[in-house]
Amino acid sequence: MNDWTPKPIPAASLARLPLTPEEGFVLSRLDGTTPVRHLTALTGLPADRIQAILARLIAHGAVLNAPTPPAEQPLPPPEDPPPSEDTPAGDEDIPTEDEGAEAATGTFRQLFERRLHPLAADERARLARDAVDPELSALCFDPVPAVIHSVMENTRVGLAHARLIARHHANPVGLEALCGRAAFASDAGVRRWLVRNPQLPSSLFRRLWAGRRLMEQFKVAVDRDVPEGTRRTAREVLRSRFTTAPAEERVELILLTEGRVLGALSGMPVDGKTASLLCGRVYRSPLLIQNLARWSAAPPVLIAHLLKQEAVRRQPQLRQLLQRHPNAPADARKG
């Protein structure tokens, strides 16, 4: 049935199924919208092979069974109610992409450990230059940087392979090779896995993130899924970038984080334009006002502006906090 669209079963425990590398590869390409007739071009496998693999995936309980041609049914009686619009048909068949991707990742790793890892490193590097999937994806788990270099030379390498390397490769030299390809280094998925990789060298992080927006750098600096070493580097990059960023971007960072970023910017003054932009706003958030009041580098004009805010007049503790600031106006301290 070339018009059949295979759909993975979201509830299946894919990681526990006895899938071969080839079956795992085909399963990873099923998104619930691609018909069988397109899988040959997508996987490079012949049509009869695709049909055989799909039959085994159905038998394993990883893919929904192919629909049978509907037999002629009598028309329903007119009084039968129509289907409810509150429950769209087929929702239970929508595949869970993360489950399929994780299952495929486990399959690729298994293929590498069982069939490829026993080979000598130079032999794996030679294979990597011309490998096709699933072997190419499996070689992304190779711990030897020379093999990763060869994977990068393969004309078939794509973002899916780059993300595997960014996530699983444990050698800074291999990660440097990955980021030598600008298209991969700029991909959001690659970057997301890179910052979570404990082997990401600080020099590479600085090179990739130094020109990013302040908000992106802040998110890395506070992400608990990021290793502490990378978070520390992110804070250093953030401080350096803050000194040269446009005033509008500095203000955006302070406001969007409700001042939480100011703890990482301790002792860093702002220019007149930044202070002016901060003073041009009405402040209602007690948390933002509190964080600004605890910012040692807050300019005097900003402290004076905050003291005039309705939220401060209604909350004595905020007013007292601002009055104790070293840059508070003299008359405010007396009050």
pLDDT digits (tens, 9 = 90+) for 286-311: 999 999 999 989 999 999 999 999 99
pLDDT at 104 over 50: yes
Q: Are residues 255 and 330 in the same domain?
A: yes
Residue 93 pLDDT greater than 70, yes or no:
no
Under the banding of pLDDT at 50, 70 and 90, the label for residue 13 is: low
pLDDT of residue 289: 93
305 occurs within a structural domain: yes
- Residue 107 pLDDT > 90: no
- Which of 75-89, 196-210, 280-294, 319-333 has the lowest average pLDDT? 75-89
CA–CA gap between residue 322 and residue 304 (Å, rounded): 9
One domain for residues 226 and 304: no
Side-chain-facing half-sphere of 99: CA atoms under 13 Å: 17
Alpha carbon distance 143, 168 (integer Å)? 9
User: According to the 3-state scheme, what is the secondary structure of 193-256?
Assistant: HHHHCCCCCHHHHHHHHCCCCHHHHHHHHHCCCCCHHHHHHHHHHHHHHHCCCCHHHHHHHHHH
69 assigned to some structural domain = no
Per-residue confidence band for 225, with pLDDT thresholds at 50, 70 and 90: very high
Are 149 and 180 contacting, i.e. CB atoms less than 8 angstroms apart?
no
Do 255 and 301 belong together in one domain?
yes
Q: pLDDT class for 162, splitting at 50, 70, 90?
A: very high
Q: What is the pLDDT of residue 25?
A: 76
User: Is it the case that residue 2 has pLDDT exceeding 80?
Assistant: no
Establish if 217 belongs to a structural domain: yes
Q: Are residues 235 and 316 in the same domain?
A: no
Residue 313: half-sphere exposure toward Cβ, Cα within 13 Å: 5
- Asked if pLDDT for residue 95 goes beyond 50, the answer is no
Query: Tokens 């399929």 appear where?
Result: 100
Tell me whether residue 16 is in a domain. Answer: no
| pLDDT of 327 over the 70 cut | yes
Task: Let me know whether 232 and 294 are in one domain.
Answer: no
| Model pLDDT, residue 69 | 54
| Token digits of residue 248 | 């509008």
Q: Is 43 within 8 Å of 25 (Cβ atoms)?
A: yes
- Residue 58 is predicted with a pLDDT of 84
Which residues constitute the domain of residue 236? Answer: 202-245
Residue 1 has pLDDT above 60, yes or no: no
- Residue 23: in which H helix or E strand, if any? helix 21-28
Question: Tell me, what's the pLDDT at 51?
Answer: 86
Give the CA distances from residue 138 to residues 22, 115, 230, in Å, rounded to whole numbers and listed in that order.
11, 10, 27
Domain count for the chain: 2
Nearest CA among 139, 141, 115, 113 for reference residue 126:
139
Asked if 239 and 302 sit in the same domain, the reply is no
Higher pLDDT, 70 or 320: 320
- If asked whether residues 214 and 230 sit together in one domain, one would say yes
Closest CA to 204 of 252, 237, 250, 158: 237
Both 231 and 280 in a single domain? no
Does residue 281 form part of some domain? Answer: yes
Question: Residue 129: enclosing H or E segment and its boundaries?
Answer: helix 121-130
